[in-house]
Protein backbone atom coordinates (compact mmCIF):
# COMPACT_ATOMS: atom_id res chain seq x y z
CA UNK A 1 0.00 0.00 0.00
CA UNK A 2 1.65 3.22 -1.21
CA UNK A 3 -1.13 5.81 -0.85
CA UNK A 4 -4.52 6.51 0.71
CA UNK A 5 -6.80 9.12 -0.84
CA UNK A 6 -10.00 10.94 0.16
CA UNK A 7 -9.85 9.95 3.83
CA UNK A 8 -12.72 11.70 5.67
CA UNK A 9 -12.35 13.59 8.96
CA UNK A 10 -15.88 14.38 10.21
CA UNK A 11 -16.81 17.24 12.53
CA UNK A 12 -18.79 16.89 15.75
CA UNK A 13 -21.52 18.74 17.60
CA UNK A 14 -21.77 18.96 21.38
CA UNK A 15 -25.44 18.24 22.04
CA UNK A 16 -24.82 19.64 25.51
CA UNK A 17 -21.72 20.66 27.48
CA UNK A 18 -21.65 21.01 31.27
CA UNK A 19 -18.65 22.04 33.35
CA UNK A 20 -18.83 20.14 36.64
CA UNK A 21 -15.63 21.29 38.32
CA UNK A 22 -11.97 22.14 37.97
CA UNK A 23 -8.89 20.13 38.88
CA UNK A 24 -5.99 21.47 40.92
CA UNK A 25 -3.89 21.64 37.73
CA UNK A 26 -6.42 24.01 36.14
CA UNK A 27 -8.04 21.53 33.76
CA UNK A 28 -11.84 21.69 33.70
CA UNK A 29 -14.03 18.65 34.29
CA UNK A 30 -16.86 18.32 31.82
CA UNK A 31 -19.72 16.20 30.65
CA UNK A 32 -20.93 16.24 27.08
CA UNK A 33 -22.54 14.21 24.32
CA UNK A 34 -20.50 14.36 21.10
CA UNK A 35 -22.35 13.65 17.85
CA UNK A 36 -20.52 12.92 14.59
CA UNK A 37 -21.89 14.81 11.58
CA UNK A 38 -21.30 14.62 7.83
CA UNK A 39 -19.39 17.92 7.52
CA UNK A 40 -15.91 16.58 6.77
CA UNK A 41 -12.36 17.56 5.93
CA UNK A 42 -10.60 15.33 3.38
CA UNK A 43 -7.05 14.00 3.73
CA UNK A 44 -4.68 12.28 1.28
CA UNK A 45 -1.56 10.28 2.21
CA UNK A 46 1.37 9.23 0.02
CA UNK A 47 4.09 7.02 1.46
CA UNK A 48 7.62 8.42 1.67
CA UNK A 49 10.59 6.14 2.23
CA UNK A 50 12.89 8.90 3.50
CA UNK A 51 11.17 9.39 6.86
CA UNK A 52 10.17 12.98 6.03
CA UNK A 53 6.70 14.26 6.95
CA UNK A 54 5.42 16.89 4.53
CA UNK A 55 2.04 18.52 3.99
CA UNK A 56 0.25 20.27 1.13
CA UNK A 57 -2.65 22.62 1.85
CA UNK A 58 -5.44 21.97 -0.66
CA UNK A 59 -7.85 24.67 0.56
CA UNK A 60 -6.70 27.41 2.93
CA UNK A 61 -3.23 27.75 4.49
CA UNK A 62 -2.61 25.92 7.78
CA UNK A 63 0.07 26.47 10.42
CA UNK A 64 3.31 24.68 9.59
CA UNK A 65 3.01 22.39 12.62
CA UNK A 66 -0.72 21.74 12.54
CA UNK A 67 -2.35 18.72 14.18
CA UNK A 68 -1.96 16.42 11.17
CA UNK A 69 1.81 16.99 11.15
CA UNK A 70 1.99 16.64 14.92
CA UNK A 71 -0.03 13.41 14.75
CA UNK A 72 2.33 11.92 12.16
CA UNK A 73 5.39 12.91 14.21
CA UNK A 74 3.86 11.51 17.39
CA UNK A 75 3.12 8.20 15.67
CA UNK A 76 6.67 8.02 14.36
CA UNK A 77 8.08 8.76 17.81
CA UNK A 78 5.85 6.21 19.55
CA UNK A 79 6.69 3.37 17.17
CA UNK A 80 10.16 4.14 15.81
CA UNK A 81 8.72 3.97 12.30
CA UNK A 82 11.21 5.05 9.64
CA UNK A 83 8.63 5.72 6.93
CA UNK A 84 7.50 9.23 6.09
CA UNK A 85 4.43 10.64 4.41
CA UNK A 86 3.26 13.47 2.17
CA UNK A 87 -0.19 14.61 3.29
CA UNK A 88 -2.73 16.65 1.37
CA UNK A 89 -5.27 18.42 3.58
CA UNK A 90 -8.50 19.82 2.16
CA UNK A 91 -10.18 21.82 4.92
CA UNK A 92 -13.92 22.30 4.92
CA UNK A 93 -14.78 22.34 8.64
CA UNK A 94 -14.18 25.90 9.89
CA UNK A 95 -11.54 26.66 12.48
CA UNK A 96 -12.29 28.11 15.94
CA UNK A 97 -15.84 26.80 15.61
CA UNK A 98 -16.09 24.21 18.41
CA UNK A 99 -16.59 21.45 15.84
CA UNK A 100 -13.33 19.60 16.44
CA UNK A 101 -11.96 19.97 12.92
CA UNK A 102 -8.27 19.90 13.84
CA UNK A 103 -8.71 17.05 16.31
CA UNK A 104 -10.66 15.04 13.75
CA UNK A 105 -7.89 15.59 11.18
CA UNK A 106 -5.35 14.29 13.70
CA UNK A 107 -7.46 11.21 14.45
CA UNK A 108 -7.96 10.36 10.78
CA UNK A 109 -4.24 10.87 10.20
CA UNK A 110 -3.40 8.42 13.01
CA UNK A 111 -5.81 5.82 11.63
CA UNK A 112 -4.61 6.24 8.04
CA UNK A 113 -0.90 6.19 8.90
CA UNK A 114 -1.38 3.17 11.15
CA UNK A 115 -2.47 1.39 7.94
CA UNK A 116 -0.09 3.07 5.48
CA UNK A 117 2.94 2.35 7.66
CA UNK A 118 1.76 -1.18 8.59
CA UNK A 119 2.01 -0.49 12.34
CA UNK A 120 -1.03 -2.52 13.49
CA UNK A 121 -1.53 -0.47 16.65
CA UNK A 122 -4.79 -1.04 18.51
CA UNK A 123 -7.45 1.58 18.96
CA UNK A 124 -6.45 2.00 22.60
CA UNK A 125 -2.81 2.56 21.65
CA UNK A 126 -3.81 5.17 19.10
CA UNK A 127 -6.09 6.85 21.65
CA UNK A 128 -3.18 7.15 24.09
CA UNK A 129 -1.12 8.89 21.42
CA UNK A 130 -4.09 11.04 20.44
CA UNK A 131 -4.80 12.27 23.97
CA UNK A 132 -1.38 13.91 24.08
CA UNK A 133 -2.32 15.85 20.94
CA UNK A 134 -5.66 17.14 22.22
CA UNK A 135 -8.55 16.17 24.48
CA UNK A 136 -10.97 15.64 21.57
CA UNK A 137 -8.71 13.38 19.49
CA UNK A 138 -9.57 10.13 21.37
CA UNK A 139 -13.27 10.72 20.71
CA UNK A 140 -12.73 10.78 16.95
CA UNK A 141 -10.67 7.60 17.25
CA UNK A 142 -13.45 5.84 19.19
CA UNK A 143 -15.57 5.38 16.07
CA UNK A 144 -18.94 6.28 17.60
CA UNK A 145 -20.93 9.12 19.08
CA UNK A 146 -19.74 9.56 22.65
CA UNK A 147 -20.76 10.34 26.19
CA UNK A 148 -17.65 12.26 27.26
CA UNK A 149 -16.44 13.03 30.80
CA UNK A 150 -13.32 13.97 32.75
CA UNK A 151 -11.20 16.40 30.75
CA UNK A 152 -12.45 14.68 27.60
CA UNK A 153 -10.55 11.43 27.96
CA UNK A 154 -13.38 9.33 29.47
CA UNK A 155 -15.48 8.21 26.50
CA UNK A 156 -18.47 5.90 26.47
CA UNK A 157 -19.53 5.15 22.87
CA UNK A 158 -23.27 5.62 22.44
CA UNK A 159 -25.91 5.14 19.77
CA UNK A 160 -27.91 8.23 18.85
CA UNK A 161 -30.93 8.61 16.56
CA UNK A 162 -30.20 9.96 13.08
CA UNK A 163 -31.16 13.64 12.87
CA UNK A 164 -30.79 16.68 10.63
CA UNK A 165 -29.19 19.92 11.78
CA UNK A 166 -28.43 23.39 10.56
CA UNK A 167 -25.00 24.64 11.61
CA UNK A 168 -24.18 28.35 11.56
CA UNK A 169 -20.60 29.60 11.84
CA UNK A 170 -20.21 33.36 12.47
CA UNK A 171 -17.43 35.15 10.66
CA UNK A 172 -15.33 35.45 13.83
CA UNK A 173 -13.92 32.44 15.66
CA UNK A 174 -13.28 31.95 19.37
CA UNK A 175 -10.14 31.11 21.34
CA UNK A 176 -10.93 28.21 23.67
CA UNK A 177 -8.37 29.38 26.25
CA UNK A 178 -10.09 32.76 26.60
CA UNK A 179 -13.41 31.13 27.43
CA UNK A 180 -12.05 28.63 29.95
CA UNK A 181 -10.03 31.34 31.71
CA UNK A 182 -12.97 33.74 32.04
CA UNK A 183 -13.94 34.30 35.71
CA UNK A 184 -17.64 34.37 34.79
CA UNK A 185 -17.60 30.82 33.40
CA UNK A 186 -20.06 28.51 35.18
CA UNK A 187 -18.03 25.67 36.67
CA UNK A 188 -20.45 23.96 39.08
CA UNK A 189 -23.06 22.13 37.03
CA UNK A 190 -24.56 19.04 38.65
CA UNK A 191 -23.36 15.68 37.38
CA UNK A 192 -25.70 14.20 34.77
CA UNK A 193 -26.33 10.54 33.92
CA UNK A 194 -26.77 8.90 30.53
CA UNK A 195 -30.32 7.78 31.29
CA UNK A 196 -31.38 11.38 31.94
CA UNK A 197 -29.84 12.46 28.67
CA UNK A 198 -31.49 9.55 26.84
CA UNK A 199 -34.96 10.84 27.69
CA UNK A 200 -34.50 13.94 25.49
CA UNK A 201 -31.24 13.67 23.55
CA UNK A 202 -31.73 16.76 21.36
CA UNK A 203 -32.92 19.15 24.08
CA UNK A 204 -31.04 17.97 27.18
CA UNK A 205 -29.06 20.43 29.27
CA UNK A 206 -27.22 23.46 27.89
CA UNK A 207 -23.75 24.63 26.92
CA UNK A 208 -22.09 26.20 29.96
CA UNK A 209 -19.58 27.98 27.71
CA UNK A 210 -22.20 29.79 25.68
CA UNK A 211 -22.79 32.82 27.91
CA UNK A 212 -19.09 33.67 28.04
CA UNK A 213 -18.77 33.07 24.30
CA UNK A 214 -21.63 35.47 23.57
CA UNK A 215 -19.86 38.11 25.66
CA UNK A 216 -16.63 37.65 23.72
CA UNK A 217 -18.11 37.18 20.24
CA UNK A 218 -21.25 39.10 19.21
CA UNK A 219 -21.54 36.85 16.16
CA UNK A 220 -22.64 33.97 18.38
CA UNK A 221 -25.64 35.97 19.57
CA UNK A 222 -26.37 37.10 16.02
CA UNK A 223 -26.38 33.49 14.80
CA UNK A 224 -28.65 32.37 17.65
CA UNK A 225 -31.03 35.22 16.94
CA UNK A 226 -31.18 34.28 13.25
CA UNK A 227 -32.05 30.69 14.18
CA UNK A 228 -34.74 31.96 16.55
CA UNK A 229 -36.20 34.06 13.73
CA UNK A 230 -36.42 30.80 11.75
CA UNK A 231 -38.42 29.24 14.58
CA UNK A 232 -35.50 27.10 15.77
CA UNK A 233 -33.84 26.82 19.17
CA UNK A 234 -30.10 27.18 18.73
CA UNK A 235 -27.20 26.14 20.93
CA UNK A 236 -23.47 26.66 20.65
CA UNK A 237 -21.26 23.64 20.02
CA UNK A 238 -18.09 23.18 22.06
CA UNK A 239 -16.31 26.46 22.74
CA UNK A 240 -17.86 28.03 19.63
CA UNK A 241 -18.26 30.10 17.67
CA UNK A 242 -20.53 27.79 15.64
CA UNK A 243 -24.11 27.23 16.76
CA UNK A 244 -26.61 24.62 15.62
CA UNK A 245 -30.27 23.67 15.78
CA UNK A 246 -32.29 20.54 15.11
CA UNK A 247 -33.64 21.09 11.62
CA UNK A 248 -37.42 20.85 11.60
CA UNK A 249 -38.37 22.62 8.36
CA UNK A 250 -36.99 24.49 5.35
CA UNK A 251 -35.00 27.65 6.10
CA UNK A 252 -35.06 31.11 4.59
CA UNK A 253 -31.35 31.26 3.81
CA UNK A 254 -31.71 34.61 2.02
CA UNK A 255 -32.45 36.26 5.35
CA UNK A 256 -29.13 35.17 6.88
CA UNK A 257 -26.39 37.74 7.45
CA UNK A 258 -23.91 37.43 4.60
CA UNK A 259 -20.83 36.85 6.77
CA UNK A 260 -22.21 33.65 8.29
CA UNK A 261 -21.36 30.19 6.98
CA UNK A 262 -24.49 28.02 7.00
CA UNK A 263 -24.68 24.31 6.30
CA UNK A 264 -27.37 21.69 6.64
CA UNK A 265 -25.90 18.49 8.08
CA UNK A 266 -26.91 14.97 9.05
CA UNK A 267 -25.64 12.96 11.96
CA UNK A 268 -23.58 9.90 11.06
CA UNK A 269 -24.39 6.42 12.31
CA UNK A 270 -20.68 5.75 12.98
CA UNK A 271 -17.33 7.30 12.09
CA UNK A 272 -16.46 6.58 8.42
CA UNK A 273 -13.19 4.92 9.53
CA UNK A 274 -14.70 2.74 12.26
CA UNK A 275 -12.88 -0.58 12.35
CA UNK A 276 -9.62 0.81 10.95
CA UNK A 277 -7.93 -0.22 14.21
CA UNK A 278 -8.66 -3.04 16.60
CA UNK A 279 -11.43 -1.84 18.94
CA UNK A 280 -10.11 -3.73 21.99
CA UNK A 281 -13.67 -4.61 22.89
CA UNK A 282 -15.16 -1.14 23.42
CA UNK A 283 -18.91 -1.54 23.91
CA UNK A 284 -21.58 0.85 22.69
CA UNK A 285 -24.35 2.06 24.99
CA UNK A 286 -27.75 2.71 23.44
CA UNK A 287 -29.66 5.86 24.32
CA UNK A 288 -32.45 5.40 21.84
DSSP 189: P
> Which pLDDT band, with edges at 50, 70 and 90, does 284 fall under?
low
125-179, pLDDT tens digit by residue? 999 999 999 999 999 999 999 999 998 889 999 999 999 999 999 999 999 999 9
The predicted-structure confidence for 201-237, as pLDDT tens digits, reads as follows 999 999 999 999 999 999 999 999 999 999 999 999 9
User: Domains of the chain (ranges plus CATH)?
Assistant: 3-159 (3.30.230.10), 164-266 (3.30.70.890)
Element (H, E) at 127: helix 123-133
At residue 1 the predicted structure's pLDDT band, cuts being 50, 70 and 90, is low
Evaluate if residue 282 carries a pLDDT over 80. Answer: no
Q: Can you point out the beta strands (E) in 50-206?
A: 53-57, 84-90, 145-149, 154-159, 164-169
Catalytic residue at 136? yes
Q: State the pLDDT at residue 109.
A: 98
- Give CA–CA dist 199/22, Å, rounded: 28
Let me know: does 287 contact 160? Beta carbons within 8 Å.
Answer: yes
Residue 281: is its pLDDT beyond 50? no
Residue 285: what pLDDT?
Answer: 57
| Alpha-carbon span 111 to 123, nearest angstrom | 9
| pLDDT above 80 (res 280) | no
CB-neighbour burial class of residue 79 (10 A; exposed 0-12, middle 13-18, buried 19+): middle
Query: pLDDT class for 94, splitting at 50, 70, 90?
Result: very high
Q: What pLDDT does 256 receive?
A: 86
Q: Which residues contact 217 (CB under 8 A, 6 or more apart)?
A: 170, 172, 173, 174, 240, 241
| Residue of 41, 66, 105, 136 marked active site | 136
Amino acid sequence: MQSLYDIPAPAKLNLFLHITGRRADGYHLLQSAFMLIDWCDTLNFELRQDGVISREDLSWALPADDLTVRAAKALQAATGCRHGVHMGVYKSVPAQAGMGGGSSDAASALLALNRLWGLQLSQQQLMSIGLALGADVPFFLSGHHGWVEGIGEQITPIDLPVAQFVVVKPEAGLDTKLIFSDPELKRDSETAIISGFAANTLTFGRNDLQAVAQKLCPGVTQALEWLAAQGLTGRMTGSGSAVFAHLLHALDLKSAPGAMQIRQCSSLEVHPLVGWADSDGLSVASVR
